Structure 1
Amino acid sequence: MSSDGLWSIGELARRAGVTVKTVRFYSERGLLPEAGRSSGGHRRYGAEALERVRLIRSLRGLDVPLSAVERVVPEAAGVREDALEEVVAGELRRVGVRLAELRWREASLRLVRDCTAVERAERLRLIGAVAVPPDTDAMARFWRRILPVRLPGRVVSLVVDAVVPRPPRDPSPEQVLAFARLHALVTDPRLDLAEFRPAPPLPDGEYRPAVLYEGLAEAYALAAAETGAGRGPQGGGALDCFVAAYADARGVADGAAFRRRLVGWLAVHDGPVIGRYWKLAAGLFAPEEPVLGVLHHQLSVALRAQVGAGTG
């Protein structure tokens, strides 16, 4: 240190444990405050510059981009704590995405490793069609295509949020395979053909779709509560609410005759495409999340049993 208490660029580099080239680069980017110049015109630095170099080195060691570092330590100003918090939060999000990608890749590789040669070709084809980390855009588009066109946007969003599973953060190979098969199902071009298109929830005729789906949401919530309490849906409660959703949507009264017709409608509506969707999706929801397809199936079975027993 010179008599004025300042350091040369070489001394600053030595104290900070970096190269002179690094200090010069940071200086030219305006990241290091100069405390003065020598008689020969060379940069001189004080203790603040040393702290700056150490902070920058720490952030760069965490792989924070230099453009983000510049927001944290702007020229001729102290450290911006608000910018630092924002940068750290952004990097945590980026690392989270990267970790999700690595976990998905690991599970995918295990899936390909632990199978026969015949299975391997199919699995490679399936997982190759899915982005890493995966998204659920194709599943959301599938449901938006098959939901009634007269359904209000608010209700559509609620339905899509409830029926589209989020990719597991730490998937098993089995979940990767289920997700890939689900993606293949909802992107199958045959869905545009009439024989593969899911049937409408009620037969041809006027009905109020918003009434139906809002009523079904209430029925599923009741069924989830009953299941959580160790009771399956039987008479009353969720089952009555379930039937009422269909009756109210058509503007007709609930009764034994209507329940018999509803059993037939449900058998047609719950066709192979929707049935396979829920079979694949069931294992992708978190344990605490209600699986609407499972609840719908349970309510349909309970209704069929009630009608068969003649108690409806």
Structure 2
Amino acid sequence: MSPAEFWSIGELAEHAGVTVKTVRFYSDRGLLPEAGRSSGGHRRYGPEALERLRLIRSLRTLDLPVPEVGRLLEQDEVLGDALEDAVARQLRELGSQLTALRWREAALRLLHDCPPQERADRLALIGGLSTPPDTTALARFWRRMLPPRMPAGLTASILDAAVPQPPADPTPGQVLAFARLHALSLGGCSGRGHGPNEKARTNRDHRPTVLYQGLEGAYALASAELSAGRAPHRGEALDGFVDAHAASWSTRDTPAFRTRLSALLTITDDPVIGRYWELAGELTGPGETTLGAAHTWLRTALDEQLTSEGPTAPESWMPLPPALVAATAEAGPAG
């Protein structure tokens, strides 16, 4: 091209339908190469600059940051994998922003529609959340509750099941449930523990890893029963539940053990855990089964069996582990 065919910065801006300031901005950042300079030192651009400028504007329309645009323009194939990755990142970021906006809207509706006397308490609860909210506090709560030295894989599996994920498009009620769940998790437990009580959790005769590995299958079966709308009853789910507890005490499932187990579960009921599962149920909504609901189903099935058959005195059967007997001595037989 002859010098006469080069465009000035103003001419390029006119061809592209942008301002001179825009052309200068991208030129100064090295995104828009110059074809040369005039004898007076003014910038000159070739027709290829127009195509590059249009590409830059298209990428910026996607709200890609200028540094990201620069990295894309350095690729041999601008419209190849690099652009696909950049668009995917942008979609994830946009999704996070939209979720945050939906949570903010639901929180505002919660405050707008609640009775005036409740507004201060709800505002304090909401103020403790990030937007979008995260579940770090809930995971820490369960790490404190679970027995120490559990296998990492088993702990991760329990956390996945026990920590409900915040919905992407919550109702005001779900915002309130999560805010209360978050506050409860920060407050910690009542000290009575989940499952075996503190004495059982620290007793060397008790094997919590065996317990929680067995409970995983029992809870899955109970969840299926719940989803099908079946009332608590004897069957595979309850047998798996009792077997898990029996194996953790190195004993076997007998009528005497079921009596002791019912008593143990009664004295280790934790109101904080109960409230946690109540709020988790409000957060997940109908159609979703929590571990707490599965545990209650199994507890009810066990107690109804003992009620219908009558409790069995442990002394009539094989000796039970002393630690289990000691843990239930103050409660006596259940049923």
More displaced, 144-153 or 32-41? Answer: 32-41
Contact kept in structure 1, 2:104 and 2:131, CA below 8 Å: yes
Name the CA distance, whole Å, in 2 between partners of 1:22 and 1:239: 70
User: Cα 1:199–1:36, aligned 2, differ >3 Å: closer, same or farther?
Assistant: closer
Establish whether residue 222 from structure 1 lines up as the match of residue 216 from structure 2. Answer: no
Q: CA deviation at 1:274?
A: 0.5
- Letter of the 1:61 counterpart: T
Q: CA deviation at 1:120?
A: 0.4
Name the CA distance, whole Å, in 1 between partners of 2:101 and 2:268: 39
Contact kept in structure 2, 1:130 and 1:180, CA below 8 Å: yes
Name the CA distance, whole Å, in 1 between partners of 2:168 and 2:183: 20
Match in the other structure for 2:68: 68
User: Cα 1:223–1:140, aligned 2, differ >3 Å: closer, same or farther?
Assistant: same
User: Cα 1:125–1:211, aligned 2, differ >3 Å: closer, same or farther?
Assistant: same
Contact kept in structure 2, 1:72 and 1:81, CA below 8 Å: no
User: Cα 1:15–1:106, aligned 2, differ >3 Å: closer, same or farther?
Assistant: same
- Between the aligned residues of both structures, percent identity stands at 57
Match in the other structure for 1:47: 47
User: Cα 1:56–1:306, aligned 2, differ >3 Å: closer, same or farther?
Assistant: same
Name the CA distance, whole Å, in 1 between partners of 2:283 and 2:133: 13
Structure 1 residue matching 2:129: 3-state secondary structure:
coil
Q: CA deviation at 1:311?
A: 7.3
Name the CA distance, whole Å, in 2 between partners of 1:111 and 1:289: 23
- Letter of the 1:66 counterpart: V
Establish whether residue 153 from structure 1 lines up as the match of residue 152 from structure 2. Answer: yes
User: Cα 1:43–1:287, aligned 2, differ >3 Å: closer, same or farther?
Assistant: farther
User: Cα 1:80–1:237, aligned 2, differ >3 Å: closer, same or farther?
Assistant: same
CA RMSD of aligned residues (A): 2.2
| CA offsets 1:105-163 (integer angstroms, 9 cap, x no match) | 10000000111111101101111111121110001000000100031111111101110
Q: CA deviation at 1:83?
A: 2.4
Contact kept in structure 2, 1:219 and 1:238, CA below 8 Å: yes
Name the CA distance, whole Å, in 2 between partners of 1:287 and 1:67: 46
Name the CA distance, whole Å, in 2 between partners of 1:112 and 1:279: 22
Match in the other structure for 1:24: 24
Match in the other structure for 1:297: 296
Which consecutive segments of 4 or more residues in structure 1 shift more than 4 A? 1-5, 36-41, 286-289
- Letter of the 1:133 counterpart: P
- How many residue pairs get aligned? The number is 306
Name the CA distance, whole Å, in 2 between partners of 1:62 and 1:253: 63
- Letter of the 1:310 counterpart: E
Give 2:191's match in structure 1, choosing from 197, 203, 211: 197
Match in the other structure for 1:89: 88
Q: TM-score, normalised by structure 1?
A: 0.90
Contact kept in structure 2, 1:30 and 1:74, CA below 8 Å: no
Contact kept in structure 2, 1:32 and 1:49, CA below 8 Å: yes
Name the CA distance, whole Å, in 2 between partners of 1:294 and 1:10: 70
Q: TM-score, normalised by structure 2?
A: 0.85
- Letter of the 1:202 counterpart: P
| CA offsets 1:250-285 (integer angstroms, 9 cap, x no match) | 111101111111111112223201000000011223
Match in the other structure for 1:280: 279
Q: Which runs of 5+ in 1 are unaligned?
A: none
Q: CA deviation at 1:186?
A: 1.1
Structure 2 residue matching 1:266: 3-state secondary structure:
helix
Establish whether residue 253 from structure 1 lines up as the match of residue 247 from structure 2. Answer: no
Structure 1 residue matching 2:7: 3-state secondary structure:
coil
Contact kept in structure 2, 1:212 and 1:245, CA below 8 Å: yes
Structure 2 residue matching 1:158: 3-state secondary structure:
helix
Q: CA deviation at 1:37?
A: 4.3
Establish whether residue 59 from structure 1 lines up as the match of residue 59 from structure 2. Answer: yes
Q: CA deviation at 1:30?
A: 1.3
Q: Which runs of 5+ in 2 are unaligned?
A: 312-335
- Letter of the 2:308 counterpart: A
Name the CA distance, whole Å, in 1 between partners of 2:128 and 2:49: 51
User: Cα 1:134–1:183, aligned 2, differ >3 Å: closer, same or farther?
Assistant: same
- Letter of the 2:57 counterpart: R
- Letter of the 1:170 counterpart: D
Match in the other structure for 1:310: 309
Structure 1 residue matching 2:175: 3-state secondary structure:
helix
Q: CA deviation at 1:7?
A: 2.4
